[in-house]
Amino acid sequence: MAHLKTKSTTSNLTEREQWKWQLVRSLYEKGLTKFDIINLFKFIDKMMTLPPELESNFQSKINQYEEEQRMEFLSTIEELAIERGQQIGPEIGQEIGAKENCRQNILDLLEKRFNSLPETLIKAINEINDLALLKRLLVETITVNSVAEFEELITESK
């Protein structure tokens, strides 16, 4: 088709530019892979050469078309991502808050019972991300007999 339209538009380059655009746009609309579109585009582009002014116009059409297609696609993805984020955001926030609260309660209780805590223990507690483990350790702060015993509980839980 590109060859036939090139031959028939030898004296009318504006018409050639329109045909070139129509052929290239059809590549996008057929749902071809990006690889196939690029290869076929290169073939059409070599065959249906245009003067610089029309080539610039043609490139503008391609850029605009690709942007429109991308925007539609991204808009759908963005909407889904926003919707999903709104659904899971509060849950994640509550879980993060519960973990931070649990960690702080463990540290407060241990400090109250044993006065000062080693930095290594504070760091180890702050690195725990399992909420169930943090809750279990919080209960253990009530019955543990020493800081060393509590450190052993953390080591055993890893």
- Per the listing, tokens 């031959």 go with 7
Half-sphere exposure of 122 (CA within 13 A, CB side): 8
pLDDT of residue 114: 95
pLDDT of residue 127: 96
Residue 6 CA: distances (Å) to CA of 3, 63, 91: 5, 23, 61
Identify the DSSP state of 115.
S
Q: Tell me how far apart the terminal alpha carbons of the chain are, to the nearest angstrom.
A: 68
pLDDT of residue 146: 95
As a whole number of angstroms, the distance between CA 135 and CA 109 comes to 13
pLDDT of residue 74: 53
Instruction: Give the CA dihedral 62, 68, 72, 78, nearest 10 degrees.
Output: 100
Nearby residues of 10 by Cβ (< 8 Å), 6 or more positions away: none
pLDDT of residue 44: 87
Per-position pLDDT tens, the chain of length 158 = 777 877 888 788 899 899 888 988 888 888 888 788 888 888 888 888 889 999 899 899 988 888 777 755 555 666 777 788 888 888 888 999 999 999 999 999 999 999 999 999 999 999 999 999 999 999 999 999 999 999 999 999 87
pTM for the complete prediction?
0.49
